[in-house]
Structure 1
Amino acid sequence: MTSGKVILFNDPHSFSRPQEASVTHLSWQIKVDFNIKTLSGIATYLIQKQPQAGKIILDIKDLVIQAVYVNQTPVSFSLGAEKEYLGQPLEILLLPDSQEISIHYQTTSASAALQWLEPEQTAGGQQPFLFTQSQAILARTWLPCQDSPAVRFTYEAQVEVPPGFFALMSAENPSEIAADGQYTFKMVHPIPSYLMALAVGQINFQAIGPRTGVYAETALLSAAAYEFAEMEKMLQAAEDLYGTYPWGRYDVLVLPPSFPFGGMENPCLTFATPTIITGDRSLTSLVAHELAHSWSGNLVTNATWNDFWLNEGFTVYFERRIMEYLYGSEYADMLKVLGYQDLMKTMDELGVTNPDTCLKLNLENRDPDEGLTEIAYEKGNLFLLTIEKAVGRARFDAFIQDYFQTYSFRSNTTENFLNYLQAFFAPEKELVEQKVKPKKWLYEPGLPLTAISLSSSRFTLVEDKAQEWQSTKDASVLNHLNWTTHEWLYFLQLIQASLQEADMVHLDKVFYFTHSNNAEIAAAWFEMALKKGYKPIEETLEKFLLGVGRRKFVLPLYKLMADKPSGKNWAKGIYEKARPNYHAVTRQSVDKLLFT
């Protein structure tokens, strides 16, 4: 059995001191109780410690600790003072021969990682549903752990759920329901706590390929299987690019719409939002993104949340290489340009001199969720694209392959990355410094002058159509274009500034944007409509906000509503009804927006 390596990084978002004593393997026994909405059970860790270490420290938040054992002997424990965002340290005294600790505990109604859904909040509408979301530091709200991405451990689990329910984890998963509700899981590779995941509900499975498949509620299963039909091809493309997939199987679980993110890269089992199911496979780059995390993030992990770009910048780059491999460079170029536009929007919102636009962040005494912006994703990606252009793709691919192999199942800091980059490209030292200037990307705000420009030939054609439409205001010039979601999004961005209400009425009548089943297009249209005061969206917008909990969509919409005269009361009225349907990650963001 492999085990995590003791890391010496100082993590400002964890009380643990893994350099003194760290966990290496978890045996988890848990019971899921939908009646009282709690998890209760035992977390038993194998530990490794320095000879002088007299205690081990774990992170907890909103948990009830009932008893603690060391080497199967009951011991006293202490809980430190609670700290905002971080929760409390759980300190357990150790003896020189201590090798194992066991914590008997129970979650509470405040355990933010857990979302307990009522039947009416699910697609099937018959049975409740539970899912977890641990990133960034919410694992400590459902599992006592050393909740730092620098601490890795293997695990095995025994999970008891009500008979008739399916249970899944970020591990080897069953493909059929256990009639007695008893499930066992095993993760043989060391992972950080934020990649712990659990889902329980009325779920079914459909295979896509030899190593890939989709889990979903029955009502969504066939649509999800159609949407993700190319998962096996994506997996093969990823392996062809950067080496053997290390996790065995790659499956996707489609969650109810309250899931706060597009996807979460839990090993072996990506959690995904149903908003990417459009019927035309146009948003499956999200699957490529989460698959890419199997290397960048899960295999090689940011050591702290200040280094978050190491996870996401590499993953965005890898995702678009997968899409290029499968669909060609013209398709991937569209994703790059849209990503760049998102980056520029974030830069404008934060301000180009804001230190939060550096790749290396300083999130101490702050919620690490504040660092989950397009800076990590798109500035990180643009940095890597700039290196690629400077040294050539073949040389850059060799660098990435070597990077993944060197840091396999380890965590890394920005400083280590920089040292590694400089060592690998020592023969090109002057070229990289002149054409890239890595330290400016990592440690200075804004975009360096070395940033490469991005373009898309397919978007050039969209620009031509946008000009034609603006000169004629005749939607027939847009008929029969067979555009992807990406091209429609780019078109809407191009015409937004000049739109008049009559234009929106006309476009809506022809293309039904207000009632689009494509969440990306609907959200973009709603944003435009709110900026322009286009009132026909109001009823449909409310339905959208009541039915979708993805933070990427709902937070900008509430912000635009609240910015309008008397709009804050409108936003609060809708949010009051929608809030029970949102995960804590989304609730915290919208609460802060509307009530502070």
Structure 2
Amino acid sequence: MRFLLSAAVAALLALSACDGAPGGVPERAAPAPILTTEQAIDEFTHARPQEARVTHVALDLALDFDAKEVGGTATLDVLAAPGASEVVLDSAGLRIESVADAQGQPLQWALGEADEEKGAALTIALPSAGDAAPESARTIVITYKSAPEAEALQWLSPEQTAGKQHPFVFSQGQAILNRTWIPTQDSPGIRQTWEARITAPADLNVVMSGIIQGEAEDAGEGRHTFTFRMDHPVAPYLIALAAGNIEFRELGPRTGVWTEPETMDAAHAELTDTEAMVTAAEGLFGEYRWGRYDMIVLPPSFPYGGMENPVMTFLTPTFIAGDRSLTGLVAHELAHSWSGNLVTYSSWRDGWLNEGVTSYVENRISEEVYGAKRAGQEYALSFAAVEEMVATLGADNPLTAMRTPAGSSPFDTESAAIYDKGTVFLKTVESIVGREKFDPWLTQWFDSHAFQPATSEMFLADLRQNLIKGDAAREERLMLDDWVYGTGLPANAVKPDPAAFADVDRAVEAYAASDALPFEAWGGWTTAERMRFLQEVPQQRNATQLAALDRALGLSATGNNEIKFLWLELALKNRYQPAVQAAELFLGSVGRNKFVSPLYRALSEQGDWGTAIARPLYQRTRAGYHSMTRGNVDEILGWSE
């Protein structure tokens, strides 16, 4: 597959020869600041960055598919405060073989007792600075291997891929999983530049979330080495890797897609709007600063819809519907190039700063590329998700707050509070101050904090200083603190246009009253309209009603996974036996947690009927799910190996 790499390298090499150091190698960016306010503290790391912090990671690793491990060295540049004698890293299951300084002299190190949630502290004695180096700059070299069960890595057998001939591996680092394969300070507020040399079997290609440097090199013994660089400081969870029988196809001057050959035609066709999305985003909120925007469509076991790894978004194949109706996912991951990757939360408690802002930007990109109708419908779905969350959990539930309060885990906060409530918040601010003022303010927020961490209090302070500017009446109308720190849905929330789903809502009323099905209208509805219908219809249906619904709307046969999921969830909640086989096929072919966990939950809530289906099915499918998905379903089913 080496010839396949050449097309990609031709497109990518121009990005590695930018202004900077001699020879076309860009200079490494200055270290990003470490925030020290209370909101900035990340309780899910062992690191003490105020004393000694990692600024750069250089990986030299080999992929071993038989042992299911990566192994080699991680060379870390460390910036130490005066008097600091050690640096503390994060490790979860890493097998440390040795630690040395840049000259190969051994350094003392100790691996602490593992915490169930955040792993173990890897404490390393700092070497003295070299004669030519600043007093505070140190280098340490860690030789190590990941464990076969490293949670960030999913090793797939050939049978689990589209081509069935070659193995595959991909990483998923967010939230705190990269410490299972990279020894570093695994915290979003400790931004790091990085580079990597990855050696893999010669019949596979490797991609990472950095710019590839030249052609793959022959490493001997049937292996090749790939080299990557990321010269912007990024949150450590954004270091990502994938390797398999993948090929590249260009989408535009700075966009392209990687995937298995068997998936390429469908993926490429679905992603043809990507270059237009990048252009639209730049027109809204300023320059795209990462050079290229490429994507890889992964095998179905990938647990998320997408992951915004810089220059290489990871995507689930479940977004491929054949009509580009689910490409809001791509707009979302692209939007992270501004909110999340460019400006990143310092603490996991500020999840909305990444995801809520991104969901708002996604909606604006969608409006530019697909029009106001689609954007309005997508906003209405977000608003409905917030309303449902509040109705289900209660308006005073701390898990409905955008910034997760003390006493609650940010990993337990409802996704609607982070994504959808954040969208509604910014839409509300926009409507009160006007786009002509809001857009320049948001653009300057991205510019002012580019490649740096941020907190909720910083966001609100910037908004007050540069947008509200002392206008007391506007401050009162915006209810900023209620939005960010309060629970429920604030009273000033901008409601969606009631016309967005007027036809659909009338169809729902007719169906609820007399089982009248929108057979003719369904064919002309958008995906958002179809989702709205399935979400709003009465959720208690008998077998006759479900059979009629399926027959009239072709739900079991749909190729749109969002629609299929809503149908299967409705059917399983009503113990509709004819849908069981379709559900088993679906759960055996996708690993996206958004679909998998709710369907197993729907089964588990149906007593003996559901348990008799769920447990043997999960026993067959569990090994094909990512560790994150497995953890969720294990809890739902009370599963124990």
Please state whether the residue corresponding to 1:289 is helix, strand or coil: helix
1:258 maps to 301
Could you list the per-position Cα deviations for residues 297-354 of structure 1 after superposition, in whole angstroms to 9, with x for gaps in the alignment? 0000000100111001110000000000112211101101111222233334433222
Question: Within 2, Cα distance between the matches of 1:181 and 1:570?
Answer: 45
1:40 maps to 71
The alpha carbon displacement at 1:477 in A equals 4.2
Question: Within 1, Cα distance between the matches of 2:54 and 2:297?
Answer: 31
Question: Within 1, Cα distance between the matches of 2:331 and 2:378?
Answer: 12
Is the 2:519–2:552 Cα contact (8 Å) retained in structure 1?
no
Question: Within 1, Cα distance between the matches of 2:163 and 2:519?
Answer: 41
The alpha carbon displacement at 1:363 in A equals 6.6
Could you list the per-position Cα deviations for residues 434-488 of structure 1 after superposition, in whole angstroms to 9, with x for gaps in the alignment? 2221111111211111212112534112223334555664547425742221111
Residue 317, structure 1, aligned to residue 360, structure 2: yes
The alpha carbon displacement at 1:502 in A equals 2.1
1:514 maps to 556
Please state whether the residue corresponding to 1:156 is helix, strand or coil: strand
Is the 1:166–1:178 Cα contact (8 Å) retained in structure 2?
no
Is the 1:465–1:478 Cα contact (8 Å) retained in structure 2?
no
Could you list the per-position Cα deviations for residues 344-379 of structure 1 after superposition, in whole angstroms to 9, with x for gaps in the alignment? 33334433222111111147784x532361211011
Residue 105, structure 1, aligned to residue 136, structure 2: no
Distance 1:390 1:118, change over 3 A: same
1:583 maps to 626
The alpha carbon displacement at 1:124 in A equals 0.7
Give the letter aligned to residue 358 of structure 2. Answer: T
Is the 1:561–1:570 Cα contact (8 Å) retained in structure 2?
yes
Distance 1:69 1:432, change over 3 A: farther
Could you list the per-position Cα deviations for residues 505-551 of structure 1 after superposition, in whole angstroms to 9, with x for gaps in the alignment? 12212332123221100100011112222221001101111111101
**Which of 44, 49, 62 is the matching residue for 1:18?**
49
Give the letter aligned to residue 246 of structure 2. Answer: I
Question: Within 1, Cα distance between the matches of 2:473 and 2:424?
Answer: 17
Is the 2:380–2:500 Cα contact (8 Å) retained in structure 1?
no
Question: Within 1, Cα distance between the matches of 2:408 and 2:546?
Answer: 45
Give the letter aligned to residue 148 of structure 1. Answer: S
Distance 1:213 1:500, change over 3 A: same
TM-score, normalisation: structure 1: 0.96
Residue 76, structure 1, aligned to residue 118, structure 2: no
Residue 329, structure 1, aligned to residue 392, structure 2: no
Please state whether the residue corresponding to 2:141 is helix, strand or coil: strand
Residue 308, structure 1, aligned to residue 351, structure 2: yes
Please state whether the residue corresponding to 2:70 is helix, strand or coil: strand
**Which of 13, 19, 32 is the matching residue for 1:5?**
32
Distance 1:31 1:349, change over 3 A: farther
**Which of 176, 183, 186 is the matching residue for 1:147?**
186
Is the 2:382–2:423 Cα contact (8 Å) retained in structure 1?
no
Residue 398, structure 1, aligned to residue 429, structure 2: no
Is the 2:398–2:408 Cα contact (8 Å) retained in structure 1?
no
Residue 229, structure 1, aligned to residue 268, structure 2: no
Please state whether the residue corresponding to 1:200 is helix, strand or coil: strand
Is the 1:65–1:105 Cα contact (8 Å) retained in structure 2?
yes
Give the letter aligned to residue 375 of structure 2. Answer: A
Please state whether the residue corresponding to 2:50 is helix, strand or coil: coil
1:172 maps to 211
Distance 1:365 1:464, change over 3 A: closer
2:317 maps to 274
Is the 1:57–1:90 Cα contact (8 Å) retained in structure 2?
yes
Give the letter aligned to residue 528 of structure 1. Answer: L
2:495 maps to 453
Give the letter aligned to residue 415 of structure 2. Answer: T
The alpha carbon displacement at 1:433 in A equals 2.6
Is the 1:561–1:568 Cα contact (8 Å) retained in structure 2?
yes
Is the 2:531–2:566 Cα contact (8 Å) retained in structure 1?
yes
2:263 maps to 220
Distance 1:31 1:319, change over 3 A: same
Is the 1:123–1:256 Cα contact (8 Å) retained in structure 2?
yes
Question: Within 1, Cα distance between the matches of 2:54 and 2:170?
Answer: 25
Distance 1:178 1:495, change over 3 A: farther
Is the 1:168–1:174 Cα contact (8 Å) retained in structure 2?
no
Does 338-347 or 106-115 show the bigger shift? 338-347
Distance 1:492 1:178, change over 3 A: farther
The alpha carbon displacement at 1:134 in A equals 0.1
**Which of 56, 63, 69 is the matching residue for 2:87?**
56
1:120 maps to 159
2:568 maps to 526
Distance 1:115 1:456, change over 3 A: farther
Could you list the per-position Cα deviations for residues 151-178 of structure 1 after superposition, in whole angstroms to 9, with x for gaps in the alignment? 1111111100001100000011379876
Question: Within 1, Cα distance between the matches of 2:624 and 2:102?
Answer: 42
Please state whether the residue corresponding to 2:412 is helix, strand or coil: helix
**Which of 506, 511, 534 is the matching residue for 1:464?**
506
Residue 543, structure 1, aligned to residue 585, structure 2: yes
Question: Within 2, Cα distance between the matches of 1:372 and 1:498?
Answer: 25
Residue 283, structure 1, aligned to residue 326, structure 2: yes
Give the letter aligned to residue 428 of structure 2. Answer: T
Does 186-195 or 502-511 show the bigger shift? 502-511
Residue 410, structure 1, aligned to residue 452, structure 2: yes
Matched-pair identity in %: 41
**Which of 235, 238, 254 is the matching residue for 2:281?**
238
Question: Within 2, Cα distance between the matches of 1:144 and 1:323?
Answer: 38
The alpha carbon displacement at 1:563 in A equals 0.7
Give the letter aligned to residue 284 of structure 1. Answer: T
Question: Within 2, Cα distance between the matches of 1:15 and 1:371?
Answer: 22
Q: Could you list the runs of 5+ residues in structure 2 that have no partner in the other structure?
A: 1-27, 130-136
Is the 2:155–2:170 Cα contact (8 Å) retained in structure 1?
yes
Is the 2:158–2:168 Cα contact (8 Å) retained in structure 1?
yes
CA RMSD of aligned residues (A): 1.9
Aligned residues: 595
Is the 2:186–2:237 Cα contact (8 Å) retained in structure 1?
yes
Does 530-539 or 544-553 show the bigger shift? 530-539
Give the letter aligned to residue 109 of structure 1. Answer: P
The alpha carbon displacement at 1:5 in A equals 2.0
Residue 443, structure 1, aligned to residue 480, structure 2: no
Does 209-218 or 340-349 show the bigger shift? 340-349
Question: Within 2, Cα distance between the matches of 1:144 and 1:40?
Answer: 11
2:10 maps to none
**Which of 614, 617, 631 is the matching residue for 1:574?**
617
Residue 386, structure 1, aligned to residue 421, structure 2: no
**Which of 200, 206, 209 is the matching residue for 1:161?**
200
Is the 1:387–1:432 Cα contact (8 Å) retained in structure 2?
no
Please state whether the residue corresponding to 1:371 is helix, strand or coil: coil
Within 5 Å, which residues of 2 pair with 1:352-391? 352-362=395-405, 366=409, 368-371=410-413, 373-391=415-433
Give the letter aligned to residue 594 of structure 2. Answer: K
Question: Within 1, Cα distance between the matches of 2:308 and 2:465?
Answer: 30
Please state whether the residue corresponding to 2:71 is helix, strand or coil: strand
**Which of 334, 341, 352 is the matching residue for 2:384?**
341
Residue 94, structure 1, aligned to residue 126, structure 2: yes
Is the 2:399–2:414 Cα contact (8 Å) retained in structure 1?
no
Is the 1:13–1:364 Cα contact (8 Å) retained in structure 2?
no
Please state whether the residue corresponding to 1:124 is helix, strand or coil: coil
Give the letter aligned to residue 209 of structure 2. Answer: S
Please state whether the residue corresponding to 2:428 is helix, strand or coil: helix
Question: Within 1, Cα distance between the matches of 2:407 and 2:436?
Answer: 38
